[in-house]
Structure 1
Amino acid sequence: MQNFLIRVLINAVALWAAAGLISGISFGDEDEWTKKVVTIVLVALLFGLVNAVIRPIAKVLSFPFIVLTLGLFTFVVNAFMLQITEWIAEPLGLAFTIDEFFWDAVMGAVIITIVSWLLSVVLPEDDD
């Protein structure tokens, strides 16, 4: 359970960093910071669920492109996961938007990957 909470926290920080660095990714115009934090955590939970369920299927289907591009196509797959998260978040009432699919989503995926990797190295991982 602790490992799950750490992963959600890492996803939340990575999504927050991507929204802060890329103008095309946002969590709404809410003035109240508690609502924004709750939205970020809920989107992080949703993003983790999308990555757990859909990402393995997408990676298997895109394996030839991943091999052909020496792994760079993985960023496109990650951008697609980010876009799916936005599509699911909208009907749930979560204020998470990506303006342009390709560039904003790909750059967001790069930032999320880097921040998640850095935080995974720094934070302890308990597999109990």
Structure 2
Amino acid sequence: MKSLIIKLLISALVLLLGDFLMDSVTISPYYYAIILAVILGVLNSFAKPILKILAFPLTILTLGLFSFVISACIILLADGLMGTHFETTGFWSALGFSLLISILNTIVDMLMPDRE
């Protein structure tokens, strides 16, 4: 349970860093980053696998690049669910935000030791 809370807080910090680095993304007020991290976790657990199955032919045709579009769709879904507390200016900003969050999460995963 403790590691889940730590991962949630780290994800919220990564989202805030992404908000800081991109002008086209807004998380306001900042404590909503924790709620956004939970919503993105739920969407990535339930909606993303369904979208991946439905878009499998397109993913094959684009040699996997369509998975970035799926990630942007997840960000846009979270944008719709969060209302005015999380806003992106459109598809391209959602795509850039999802790429930035993926890169930042990869860096954090490399820096954090495995404590399982």
What interval of TM-score do these two structures reach, taking the shorter chain for normalisation?
A: 0.7 to 0.9
1:9 is the counterpart of 2:2: no
Identity percentage of aligned residues: 28
Give the letter aligned to residue 88 of structure 2. Answer: I
Q: CA deviation at 1:9?
A: 2.6
1:6 is displaced (CA, Å) by 3.5
When the two structures are superposed, what TM-score results if normalisation uses the length of structure 2?
0.88
| Alpha-carbon shift at residue 126 of structure 1 (Å) | 4.1
Instruction: Between 13-22 and 78-87, report the one with greater CA deviation.
Output: 13-22
Q: Deviations over 1:25-79 (max 9, x none)?
A: 0013x5xxxxx2x211111111111111111111111111112212111111111
Q: Which structure's relative contact order is higher, taking Cα pairs within 8 Å and 6+ residues apart?
A: 1
What value does the CA root-mean-square deviation take over the aligned residues? 1.7
Matched, 1:109 2:94: no
Deviation beyond 4 Å, 4+ runs, structure 1: none
Write the distance in 2 (CA, Å) between the matches of 1:117 and 1:96: 23
Greater helix content:
2
Give 1:4 shift: 2.1
Residues in 2 aligned to 1:64 and 1:86: alpha-carbon distance in whole angstroms: 26
Alignment of 1:1-128 (within 5 A): 1-28=1-28, 30=29, 36=30, 38-90=31-83, 95-100=85-90, 102-127=91-116
1:113 Cα deviation after fit: 0.6
Equivalenced residues, count: 116
| TM-score normalized by the length of structure 1 | 0.80
